[in-house]
Amino acid sequence: MGMIDPILMEIEQESKATRRVLERIPEDKLGWTPHAKSYTLGQLALHVARIPGAIAEAVQGESFEPRTGQDPPKNHAEIMETFDRGLAKAKEIYRGMDDAKLMQTWTATVKGKPVMAIPRIGAIRTIALNHLYHHRGQLSVYLRLLDVPVPMIYGPSADENPFM
């Protein structure tokens, strides 16, 4: 078993919860935002959908300069298609990384200046996984504020309890 195998298992498990949240995004509310400083629901959902593929592609190289801002999706289908394509791409990329590559230093830059230099596997854990979970949590709050039933993520939600 290589170092990436537990990550791939986690991606497989967590993608189910992420899909449940993304499937609940109401198309007629894509432009809604809870605050003037927040992304719209559509922007945040598309950001979550892009994370698996975008981060996998980013960690293939030696360094990455993240872009700022987030485009709005055209519709709900774009969100789901982006997630499906990105998830498949991420699995393919990660399966191709051996332990030596995973332990090589990867750098994130802002305006050309390094802001993070960590082993590639740390970047995957921090940005591809933890970052996604953070924004998925935000999406669940957006759903609650819009009175959309929140799916279970790590256990029952107030709207979905398979144990009852």
Q: What is the CATH number for 47? A: 1.20.120.450
Q: Is 104 part of any domain?
A: yes
Count of CB atoms situated within 10 Å of the CB of 48? 25
- Residue 121 inside a domain? The answer is yes
Count the domains in the chain.
1
What is the domain extent for residue 132? 4-145
Residue 164 has pLDDT above 90, yes or no: no
Whether 129 is in a domain gets the answer yes
Q: What is the pLDDT of residues 121-150, one digit of tens each?
A: 999 999 999 999 999 999 999 999 999 999
Predicted confidence (pLDDT) per residue in 61-107, tens digit: 988 888 877 899 999 999 999 999 999 999 999 999 999 999 999 99
Name residues whose C-beta falls within 8 Å of residue 59's C-beta, 6 or more positions apart in sequence.
93, 106, 120, 123, 124, 127, 128
Name, in order, each residue with C-beta under 8 angstroms of 27's C-beta and a sequence gap of 6 or more.
75, 76
Q: 159 in a domain, yes or no?
A: no
Look at residue 13 and tell me if it is in a domain. Answer: yes
Asked if residue 114 belongs to a domain, the reply is: yes
What pLDDT is attached to residue 163? Answer: 82
Tens digit of each residue's pLDDT (9 = 90 or more) over 24-45? 999 999 999 999 999 999 999 9
Angle at 129 between CA 98 and CA 53, to 5 degrees: 70
- Does residue 48 lie in a domain region? yes
Q: What is the pTM of this model?
A: 0.94
Residue 11 within any structural domain of the chain: yes
Q: Please give the distance of CA 43 from its chain centroid, rounded to a whole number.
A: 12
**What angle, 0 to 180 degrees and rounded to 10, lies between the N-to-C axes of helices 41-60 and 4-23?**
160
Beta bridge partners of residue 113, listed in sequence order = 110
Sequential DSSP letters for 22-70: HHT--GGGTT--SSTTSPPHHHHHHHHHHHHHHHHHHHHSSEE------
